[in-house]
Amino acid sequence: MATTTTLKTSVPTASEHDQAVEKKIQQFRELFADAPEIGKKALENALHELRSQTSDLPPPVESAGRVGARLGKVSELTIIVPLAPGGAKRLRAFLRLLRGNLSQGANKVGTLHTMRFVFFDNDTRLLFATAYDGDWDTYIDDFVAKIPDYLDVIDSAWDGWPGIRSPGAKDYLVKHQITAEGWYVAYPDLTVAEIKRLQRIGKAVDEFLDKVG
């Protein structure tokens, strides 16, 4: 006669969860022992809200694949990269040529929510950050397929950039990318395509209401 074994998954009780939250908050308060007074005061003022937030947490940040973080369907990419000699001047001229708006190239990729370039350290380094739909490798492959020259015009300003068509391009990006520790997305379950579809529906509904009203 066969014997069936039932595996039970241990689920923390509400009391155990509350105790775990209190332990984390206590550890957090201890870290603020040598913080500036303004930080200590702000922490005490915010503790009630922090307890509430940690008791009913949203889904955690997940991996975007090879590198980066993801919330729902939206992923982040943050790169801090050294600039080649003259790179800042060339890249800034390119961005100004487009009046700072990269919508034409970004729209061709089709999965980009945001993209920004920030020069710092006297134009020796650059912060490049984007939010996009889906997996990291697929996102980079989209750049290769849809706007390779556009990307190489930009990234040739980066010190040691091998070219987007190079087998070493992804390794270069991974080397300089830093995964976000914390992140917020207002609509994590909406892709760029879904947002545009909802915009079209909203516009059509508004036009219909204008006609019947």
Closest to 181 in 3D by CA, of 61, 28, 31, 50: 61
Q: Which residue has the higher pLDDT, 179 or 210?
A: 179
Q: Residue 79 pairs with which residues in a beta bridge?
A: 128, 177
Question: What pLDDT was estimated at residue 206?
Answer: 82
- Residues 136, 131: Cα–Cα separation, whole Å: 11
DSSP state of 83: B
92 contacts 83 by C-beta, under 8 angstroms? no
For residue 11, pLDDT beyond 70: no
Residue written as token pair 């702000």: 42
Domains along the sequence of the chain with CATH: 62-176 (3.30.70.100)
136 contacts 144 by C-beta, under 8 angstroms? no
- Identify the band that residue 111 occupies on the pLDDT scale cut at 50, 70 and 90: very high
Closest to 88 in 3D by CA, of 60, 110, 120: 120
Highest mean pLDDT among 7-11, 51-55, 132-136: 132-136
- Identify the band that residue 14 occupies on the pLDDT scale cut at 50, 70 and 90: low
Classified as helix, coil or strand, 45 is helix
- In the structure encoding, which two tokens stand for residue 102, read together? 């990269």
DSSP letters along 26-91, please?
Answer: HHHHHHTTTS-HHHHHHHHHHHHHHHHHHHSPPPPPEE-SSSSEEETTEEEEEEEEEBPTTHHHHH
Mean pLDDT (whole number) for 194-202: 91
The whole-angstrom distance between residue 120's C-alpha and the CA centroid of its chain comes to 20
User: What pTM did the predictor assign?
Assistant: 0.78
133 contacts 74 by C-beta, under 8 angstroms? yes
Closest to 170 in 3D by CA, of 147, 149, 145, 139: 139
